[in-house]
Amino acid sequence: MATALRRAAAQTLKIGMIPADGIGHEVLPAARAVLLALGSSIPKPEFIDLNAGFEYFTRTGTALPEETIRVLTEECNGAMFGAVSSPSRRVAGYSSPIVALRKKLDLYANIRPVASVSGTPGSDVDMVVVRENTECLYIKEETQIMTPNGKEARATRLITERASRRIGKMAFETALSRGKQNPVLTIVHKSNVLSVTDGLFRETVRGVPQLEEVQGRYDGVKIEEQLVDSMVYRMYREPATFDVAVAPNMYGDIISDAAAALVGSLGLVPSVNAGDNFVMGEPVHGSAPDIAGKGIANPIAAIRSASLLLTHLGHLEPAQKINDAVDAVLREGKVLTPDLGGRSRTQEVLDEVLKKM
């Protein structure tokens, strides 16, 4: 993250804003507002509006313009992404822009903290899912042929030692950064069935502490393993037992969404897409077409993602100020959007967070 940190030390913090689809256009303005509310505690934010998404594709035939990539790589310290629509049917020429952004910017880690707030309903959970972000089934290499028995479809799954090693290092670093007395890293896999691909992931992550460049650094981190199906079961039965979990791309996507149910809503769960040179905040929720345009989307995941962005850019105290304000709003429980059982609108929740700040 060194390059991003050097950029972030400048007098202006240039942030690419990519609302993309659906409620992305409603929650990203909330992230912008809280960053502006921090005033002089961070470099002056300058926001650059950028295009991407399925809606943009339907207008232009392009889901991720080259200009968006150019601006991000040449002008921005970091970025915020709203939400993307993912059609369940095949649409000729369309491919997910968030997947492409992760690959083009080499944002190999999707870091998703899931934590309950003391004094609010829900399970006692405080965990981070570190999801490998560039390979697995998300390389999107699929084929379909006709056989005498009908159509046959296949998907290629890619797991490499390089990607597994660097996501493993990111996961160990995440475990150390949380400041827990006895950090635990859980490797999530299914190597009892997928012994070659998941086997490589498991063995590579387990081998990270033996790498010459980190000798002794991770000695205090306990390594555990969990099969992905039993991981979901244990998260619901014993959520407080997990600290940091590291997983291949698809498993990480599934278990982090499942973990969101433990704290009440996907609308609460933030993430960052992180690489060695760039970072992009992204709420975990999707584009929510059923509520898009109604003004009732929960902005908290986007607000928390802005806080994570600041954390990864080295602005720790302002990031914590945002988190404390959000926690206070949730703890009071008076101003909540419908996904949390309330009747408040997006703007009302934002106003309350700004008031607490």
pLDDT the model gives residue 6: 42
User: In sequence order, what are the beta bridge partners of 273?
Assistant: 110, 280
pLDDT, tens digit, for every residue of 322-345?
Answer: 999 999 999 999 999 999 999 999
Instruction: Give me the percent of the chain exceeding a pLDDT of 70.
Output: 96
Helix locations, 9-132, DSSP H: 24-37, 54-60, 66-75, 97-104
Of 263, 292, 323, the residue at which a domain comes to its end is: 263
CA atoms within 13 A on the CB side of 291: 19
Spot the catalytic one: 169, 190, 198, 218. Answer: 190
| CB-based contact 81:98 (threshold 8 Å) | yes
257 labelled catalytic: yes
Q: Which is catalytic among the residues 218, 253, 321, 339?
A: 253
Choose, from 138, 198, 218, 321, the residue flagged as catalytic.
138
Residue 1 has pLDDT above 80, yes or no: no
Residue 351 resides in a domain? yes
**By three-state DSSP, how is residue 79 classified?**
strand
Residue 243 annotated to the active site: no
Express each pLDDT in 229-278 by its tens digit: 999 999 999 988 999 999 999 999 999 888 888 888 899 999 999 999 99
The question of whether 251 is a catalytic residue gets the answer no
d(CA 250, CA 135): 9
Residue 83, number of CB atoms within 10 A of its CB: 30
pLDDT of residue 119: 61
Known catalytic membership, residue 229? yes
Pairwise CA distance, residues 273 & 280, whole Å: 5
More confident residue, 163 or 259: 163
Query: 158 and 251: one domain?
Result: yes
Both 168 and 233 in one domain: the answer is: yes
Q: Which of 198, 231, 263 marks a domain boundary? A: 263
Q: Is 341 exposed, middle or buried (0-12, 13-18, 19+ CB in 10 A)?
A: exposed
DSSP 3-state assignment of 138?
helix
pLDDT, mean over the chain: 93
Among residues 242, 263, 284, the one where a domain terminates is: 263
Q: Does 344 share its domain with 245?
A: no
Q: Where are the beta strands (DSSP E) in the chain?
A: 12-20, 44-49, 78-83, 109-115, 126-132, 142-147, 150-155, 184-189, 222-227, 244-247, 272-274, 279-281
Domain of 73?
A: 1-95+274-357
Mean of pLDDT values over 4-22: 78
**Quick one: tokens of 351?**
């106003």
Contact 4, 277 (CB under 8 A): yes
Q: Give mean pLDDT, residues 158-183.
A: 96
Question: Are residues 79 and 133 both part of a single domain?
Answer: no
Main-chain dihedrals φ then ψ at residue 16, nearest 5 degrees: -75, 130
Q: What global pTM score does this model have?
A: 0.91
Whether residues 282 and 188 share a domain: the answer is: no
Q: Is 51 in the same domain as 155? A: no
Question: What is the pLDDT at residue 3?
Answer: 42
Report if residue 117 sits inside a domain: no
- Looking at the structure, do residues 207 and 288 belong to the same domain, yes or no? no
Over residues 114-130, the pLDDT tens digits come to 998 876 666 688 999 99
Confirm whether 108 is domain-assigned. Answer: no
Inside any domain, residue 40: yes
Both 11 and 50 in one domain: the answer is yes
pLDDT tens digits, residue range 283-307?
Answer: 999 999 999 999 999 999 999 999 9
| Co-location of 230 and 153 in the same domain | yes
Higher per-residue confidence, 140 vs 316: 316
Tokens representing residue 40 in the block = 């002089």
Percent of the chain with pLDDT over 90: 85
Catalytic pick from 49, 124, 229, 324?
229
Q: Considering its fold, how many domains does the chain have in total?
A: 2
Q: Are residues 133 and 195 in the same domain?
A: yes
Burial class (CB in 10 A: 0-12, 13-18, 19+), 196: exposed
Specify if 110 maps to a domain. Answer: no
Question: Same structural domain for residues 224 and 295?
Answer: no
**Residue 114 located in a structural domain:** no
CB 282 within 8 A of CB 272: yes
User: What's the whole-number mean pLDDT along residues 207-221?
Assistant: 95
Average pLDDT for 197-220: 96
- Is residue 30's pLDDT more than 60? yes
Q: Is residue 127 domain-shared with residue 198, that is, in the same domain?
A: yes
- The predicted pLDDT at position 123 comes to 64
Give the domain CATH number at 204: 3.40.718.10
- What pLDDT digit, counting tens, does each position of 61-108 carry? 999 999 999 999 999 999 999 999 988 788 889 989 999 999 999 999
Residue 116: inside a domain: no
Give 163's pLDDT tier (boundaries 50, 70, 90). Answer: very high
Determine the pLDDT at residue 313. 94
Q: For position 122, what pLDDT does the model report?
A: 63
